Amino acid sequence: MTGFVVQAGLLVAAWAAGVMAGSAPAAEARKQADVVIYGATSAGVAAAVQVSRMGHSVILIEPGQHVGGLTSGGLGFTDSGDKRAIGGISREFYQRIRKHYDNSSAWTQERPQNYPRYRPADDAMWTFEPKVAEQVFRQMLTEARVELLHGEQLDRSSGVTVADNQIQQIVMESGLVLAGQQFIDATYEGDLMAAAKVKYTIGREANSVYGETLNGNQVRANTHNHRFLKPVDPFRVPGDRSSGLLPGIEDAGAGIEGSGDHRVQAYCFRMCMSKSPANRRPFPKPEGYDEQVYELLLRNFEAGDLRVPLSPDMMPNLKTDTNNNCAVSTDYLGGNYRYPEADYAERAAIIRDHERYQKGLMWTLANHPRVPASVRSEMAQWGLPLDEFTDNDNWPHQLYIREARRMVSDYVMIEQDCRRERMAKDSVGMGSYNMDSHNVRRFVTAEGTVQNEGDVQVSPGGAYLISYRSVVPAKGQVENLAVPVCMAASHIAYGSIRMEPVFMVLGQSVATAAVMALESKCSLQDVPYPSLRARLLRDGQVLDLPAAIPPKILISRDSLPGLVLDDGDAELQGEWRGSSSAGRYVGAGYLHDGDLDKGKKSATWKLTVPSNGTWRVGISYSAASNRATAVPVQVQAGDGVEQQFELNQRKAIAGDAVFHELTRVTLAAGQTVRVKISNAGTDGHVIVDAVQVEKVE
């Protein structure tokens, strides 16, 4: 198996054997700068650029050979939420991306007019190729004259010297010493934070810890797209519990709802694929391929789930940012529990295991005879891009570390912050994406089948404020260390905050605070917020809620009469995305199809009426000018004939009504109403919000 470079506190595979591959010994035994930044992730790059622009010396240390972390490592489909919340250096990066694609020479595999997400009139572009992202990051570092050190990793056992709550210096495993007045840990793992003995946590808190509803064990929330839709046997010999379980399945049962545990959401590679025949190669079959690892995938197909278990969002030049989708996909559930605290050698082994799993998955989907022909046909158009990750066998250099350590400081961001039920008074940036946790495990149900657990996708209903106190340690701990990535947040709040644009925003903000602290000779915890705020605003940061953002969810489901099911209660087909940016809606937000994959996406609700009578069936949606004008909706009531409707979702629902009435039906107690909405043949964004069945007679 080919060795590969990994970012932000990880190893080159060869390093596991004690060899610093591709790295010469440090030219100097000691280096010094005003600010020392560990980890050239997107946050680290933004922080380094900001320090330099403020007139101070900075050293940016990267354990691997690449800069930009996940942004240059495959995540080209920016998870941003409300883009009005993104300012400063973060927005500048996306503006530079657009300028790159303004050049006709950037389009080597397709014409720009054929790529719908390239819009020259926009000020920024949010989708891009991995190599372009790294090119832009390096250009920004060069312009700022940032000193960048590659191939240097922290001595985590004794390499951090702290005296009087101040980091004095850090030492790399090569022996290189780096001294500074201020330090920033911009790694995905929080290695510098942990070595400095700052308080942190790992895993899911119980809901009771912070009074949340979406944290901990989430079996009841298992209504999402990333679950088993059909009963699938989990045992090595079907029906024989004594034969043991297939790989990756736990026999601990469903567990207690809302209870905490050690688990972190699954990792994967955000794989870049190409559908250009001139710029692709077949998916390789990895060394050590074990068909048993994919038996669950094959059984799921044979059970009747024929979904293609990938989410390939298109990037320029016929490439993708490919993410997890459906029941068995690129997320390697359970393979990462030890990763946050593991030493470098064990981390390298975990990453190799993830690479082997995902390469084997892709080969299986493309080639295995037990994979349905329809899926193999879909996969036949894809391969690895020949012009990406050319130093790593066309495979991403960055594993998606969705969550590792999380600091515990004087202000821990929680679900209530994301919903704006609590709002910090010392904002240094904003988040707005879904509270998004990928699955963390597979378990055997009481019925003897397999199911996934841990996936939560709930919109916060708009942008929210991130506290300065959540990116610096608590008072009484280290006073010259900022942590913009492994910041203080509960598991579920971190699921929203952990987006690359937000990391860049926070990287710039903590760098600004670090410079102000060293200039004022005070601790980071004592930086005057009014002064910090003024400088951040001057440098283009966005610190206040955008206009028309409600303080809480718009329409509570509990306030509505009749039987009401929200978008989270629907059975979904295809990849739907959460939003809350326009119109009225039920609950914290709604889903939309992104105006993509027409005919492949649907949402179905099923409601059972409790009594005899005439029932009104209604559906809600948030109207806007980019919506579809003829959205197909089907209603099946009891034993009656299926009724067909079309919705013009550009037209607001009449008056003060929440639901557009579709039909009225007469039903007996216990009969079911089935409502299905799809994006087949539609001419704009299709919205999935809520349905209502209300008794009228």
Directed axis angle between helix 344-367 and helix 295-302, to 10°?
30
Would you state the pLDDT for residue 459?
A: 85
Would you state the pLDDT for residue 501?
A: 98
CA-wise closest residue to 45 among 191, 168, 143: 143
Q: Any idea where the domains of the chain sit in the sequence?
A: 557-695
Both tokens assigned to 453 = 């657990």
Would you state the pLDDT for residue 32?
A: 97
Q: Between the CA of residue 671 and those of 99, 188, 507, what are the distances in Å? A: 57, 51, 55
Residue type, 132: V
**Pair 361, 332: CB distance under 8 Å:** no
What whole-number distance in Å separates Cα of residue 598 and Cα of residue 679? 5
Question: 280-281 and 240-245: which strand pairing?
Answer: unpaired
What whole-number distance in Å separates Cα of residue 420 and Cα of residue 464? 6
DSSP-derived secondary structure for 412-460: -B-HHHHTTSS--SSEEEEE-S-EEE---EEEE-TTS-EEEE--EEE--
Say how far residue 59 (Cα) sits from the centre of its chain. Answer: 28
What whole-number distance in Å separates Cα of residue 205 and Cα of residue 422? 19
What whole-number distance in Å separates Cα of residue 603 and Cα of residue 689? 10
**Pair 130, 500: CB distance under 8 Å:** no
Specify the pTM: 0.81
Would you state the pLDDT for residue 490?
A: 98
Quick count: other Cβ atoms within 10 Å of Cβ 211?
11
Question: 577-579 and 58-62: which strand pairing?
Answer: unpaired
Question: In sequence order, what are the beta bridge partners of 313?
Answer: 321
Quick count: other Cβ atoms within 10 Å of Cβ 477?
20
Would you state the pLDDT for residue 93?
A: 98
Would you state the pLDDT for residue 8?
A: 35
Both tokens assigned to 157 = 């056992």
Directed axis angle between helix 42-53 and helix 500-520, to 10°?
40
Q: What are phi and psi of 594, to 5 degrees?
A: 70, 10
DSSP-derived secondary structure for 250-269: B-S-S--TT--BS--PPPB-
CATH of 557-695, one of 3.40.50.1970, 3.30.70.120, 2.60.120.260, 3.30.70.3450: 2.60.120.260
Question: 406-407 and 427-431: which strand pairing?
Answer: unpaired
Would you state the pLDDT for residue 461?
A: 81
Along the chain (697 residues), what's the average pLDDT of each consecutive run of 10 residues?
34 33 53 98 98 98 98 93 93 98 97 94 96 98 98 97 97 97 98 98 97 92 82 96 96 93 97 98 97 98 96 97 96 98 98 98 98 97 98 98 98 96 96 94 96 92 94 98 98 97 98 98 98 97 78 68 91 83 79 89 94 95 89 94 94 88 94 96 94 93
Q: Dihedral (C-alpha) 518, 522, 523, 524: value to the nearest 10 degrees?
A: -60
Directed axis angle between helix 500-520 and helix 88-102, to 10°?
130
**Pair 616, 684: CB distance under 8 Å:** no
Would you state the pLDDT for residue 581?
A: 65
